[in-house]
Structures are given as C-alpha cells and as structure tokens.
Amino acid sequence: MTVGFSSYGDHWRNLRRLTTLELFSSNRLAMFTTVREQEVQLVVKQIFQDCKGKLSTVNLRERLVELSFNIMLRVISGKRYYGQHAVAQEGKEFQMLMKEFAELQGNENLIDFFPILKLIDFKGMTKKMVKMMNKMDNFLQMLVDEHERNRAITEVKDPKHMTLIDVMLDLRQTEPEFYTNETVKGVILSMLVAGAETSATTLEWGMALLLNHPKVLNKVKVEIQTHVTHQDQLLNESDSMKLTYLHNVITETLRLYPVAPLLIPHESAIDCKVCGYDIPQGTMLLVNLWTLQRHPDVWADPTRFMPERFEGGACGEVYNMIPFGLGRRACPGAVMAKRFMGHALGALIQSFEWDRIGEDEINMEDGVGLTMPKVEPLVALCRPRQEMIQALSKI
C-alpha cells in the first residue's frame, strides 16, 4: 500500500517517515537539484531546436509530461524514458503502461459508490485493473531487481548520486521486514503518479492561463528581467525561488485548477455526526477542493485569474487553500513540486515568446484522467527571445 491509501497505523507512520525524512528531506532535495536543472535545460534546448529560430507551434503537454516524468524517473531510478537519450524499449513500455494506468484510473467506477456491483464485476473494471496492475508490478520489479544486481557487483555509491531505489535498498538492510519489494514498488508508483503527473498538469494549466492573460505573462517577464541578473544565461532553481510573482501565478493556478479537485479519498475512522448527519465508520470521505477554492464567501471575484491576491503570502484561513492537502495526510512532496514548477515555468518564459494560435482564447474546460487535465492538449506559438538565442545555443 502507498502512503496516500494506507490506513493510519504503524505501516502508514513508517511510510510517512520514509517520504518526509529520506525522500523529501532538505538534504535530499538539494542532492537532486542538478537533476531538476539539467532536465529543464534539456526541454528548453529541445523546444529551441524545434523552433529553428522562427515562430513555431509547440505541443506543450507533450514537452511538460516529458520533463516531469524524466525528472522523477531520474530521481527514482537514474533513467530517462522520454525524449532524447531515453532508454528506448523500456521507455516505450513505460509510456504505454502510464497511459493505460491513467486512462483506467480516470474512468468512472460505480463500484465505489454501489459496492453490490462487485458481485458482477460491473463493466469488467476489476478484471481490467488486476491485469494492468500485474503489468505495472512486473515493470517496477524489474527496476528493483536491476538495482539489486548492480549493487551486488559495484561499490556503494556516493550519497549524492544514489537514486531513491538505492536509498530504500540501503534502508532494507536495517529494516528488512518493512522495506519489502511491495513497499518499495508502492513508493515508486505513488511518486510517479503524485509527483510527475500532477506537476505536468499544473504547468499546462498555468501556461494556458498566462496565454489567456497576456498582461500577467508580461508581469512575469518583467520580474524575471528585474531579478535574474545574468540575462545571458538560463535561470537556475535558486533564481526562480526569488520570483514571488511567478510563484503567485502557480498558487493561483492551483486554486483555480487543482489537479486533484477531490483530493485523495479519506475514510472516517469512527462513527461520527457532521452537521446533523450520521457518518458511519469506514465511510469514504471526499474533500470538494474545487468548490472550496472557488467559493464566493471565501474568495473575492473567485473565478478571476488574479495572482495579486496572494501578494505578501496572503491566502486567508489555512483551510481556504489546500491543493496539497493538510495535516498528517498532506502531500510530502509539496516543496519539491513548488521548486520544480517555479523553475520550469520561469525558464520557459525567460527563453521564449509565447502566444495563442489564433485570436480565440484557449479552451479551459477540464477533462477526465487520473488528475484533472485540460480537455484539449495545450498547443501554442513559440519563438526564441532574441536576447536569449546565444545562451540557448550553448545548452
């Protein structure tokens, strides 16, 4: 079981300790800064090469998925499965698996709401899920086995170059009863889904909002020009952390288009009464984040894209804005996600001029999926900024 879906208890506490102290600690985030920066540079380089110095169309969804998954895959396993220099056959298999996984998880499953349908396996959903998860399990086991074989024939790596699989295999030596293959694979899968998929989707929503609001986009450009002193170089992660307005854009994107609009399902631990309603123990509980973050009693002009509302770090009561959840069930990777998204979005805006295809605004309808994607992939016009051409040519 993953940290997101484990019941509260010893197993959940161990998983939470693993993610907060080992996988997403300040030291671990710093160790993987180079990986994140390299992947941002590579996707900027690829877009620059595709443009060939002129106005071109770019499928941003493809590029952002490639970027997000390659970062998470390198952190987890040391491999790239998308774009140039990817592991070819493994990469194709992984991409097909993730596509199938997302489509299946995004389907409506009435069994969750009418458990009696389990008796007939309504629409064959259980059979499909078991088949798909067997394939996913085999693929993840291959990654774990490969790391174990490599560790058996090579010396222990410098901690700075260890993947997260290496970290968990090291921890297995002292706690073998906890760090089983099932636990390791569960952590890998949850990081891929909760880490890569969500970041790519948020970045796509963010770019779509900026293209529909050119004045906001221009303010981000001005902030980058003002605070990034080395304009002849691509900004790095530490540069992007200084860009407060850019991060307000990301926060406002998460408010309007949370990638998990119902968060992950919770469960009532005991019988309780809420607003006069009896809630039995074991009831599935969903948080309607979409409504909360657009509620007119909480937010002024709630449907308007207005990053300025977060100036000075203001976001009202703590419960008003919870895209990463709250409390002990909050997403442990929130800090890494914010760093990465700020850097990626900043680099794309610094390097290129962006515009919509045609005069019509970009369609902001949401679609169906594991997270909440745009119903249509974001495709935009792109041209390298004149003052950045020399820097981009050196990447």
250 closest CA partner among 279, 282, 223: 223
DSSP per-residue letters across 169-223? HHHHTT-TTTS-HHHHHHHHHHHIIIIIIHHHHHHHHHHHHHHH-HHHHHHHHHH
Distances (CA, A) of 313 to 228, 248, 371: 21, 8, 26
Q: What are phi and psi of 267, to 5 degrees?
A: -145, 135
CA atoms of 276 and 180, how far apart (whole Å): 44
pLDDT digits over 114-134, tens only?
777 777 777 777 888 889 899
94 closest CA partner among 121, 117, 76: 76
295 residue type, one letter? H
Tell me, what DSSP letter sits at residue 385? -
DSSP per-residue letters across 139-167? HHHHHHHHHHHHHHHSPPPPGGG--HHHH
Residue 272 labelled as part of a binding site: no
For tokens 């997000």, the residue is 68
Are 251 and 209 in contact by the 8 Å Cβ rule? The answer is: no
185 closest CA partner among 225, 227, 140: 140
What is residue 221's predicted lDDT score, i.e. its pLDDT? 96
Q: Which residues contact 270 (CB under 8 A, 6 or more apart)?
A: 281
333 closest CA partner among 38, 20, 67: 20
For tokens 């039995």, the residue is 280
For tokens 């690829």, the residue is 46
Q: Digits of tens for pLDDT over the chain (395 positions)?
A: 566 667 777 888 888 888 888 778 888 899 899 999 999 999 999 999 999 888 999 999 999 999 999 999 999 999 999 887 777 788 889 999 988 887 776 666 677 777 777 777 777 778 888 898 999 999 999 999 999 998 888 765 666 678 999 989 998 999 899 889 999 999 999 888 888 989 999 999 999 999 999 999 999 999 999 988 776 789 999 999 999 999 999 999 999 999 999 888 888 889 999 889 999 998 888 899 999 999 999 999 999 999 999 988 766 566 788 999 888 888 888 999 999 999 999 999 999 999 999 999 999 999 877 789 999 999 999 999 999 999 999 88
Q: What are phi and psi of 54, to 5 degrees?
A: -130, 175
53 residue type, one letter? G
pTM: predicted TM-score of the whole model, two decimal places: 0.91
Query: ∠235-21-149 over CA atoms, to 5°?
Result: 90
Instruction: State the chain's maximal CA–CA distance in angstroms.
Output: 66
Q: Which residues of 156-195 are buried (b: 16+ CB within 10 A; e: fewer)?
A: eeeeeebbbbbbbbbbbeeeeebbeeebbbbbbbbbbbbb
Query: ∠211-34-207 over CA atoms, to 5°?
Result: 5
Are 247 and 345 in contact by the 8 Å Cβ rule? The answer is: no
pLDDT digits over 239-280, tens only?
999 999 999 999 999 999 999 998 888 888 899 998 899 999
Are 332 and 24 in contact by the 8 Å Cβ rule? The answer is: yes
What is residue 185's predicted lDDT score, i.e. its pLDDT? 94
Q: Quick one: tokens of 165?
A: 């699989």
Give domain limits for the chain. 10-394
293 closest CA partner among 351, 327, 254: 254
> Is the CATH code 3.40.640.10 the one for domain 10-394?
no
Burial of 73 (0-12, 13-18, 19+ CB in 10 A): buried
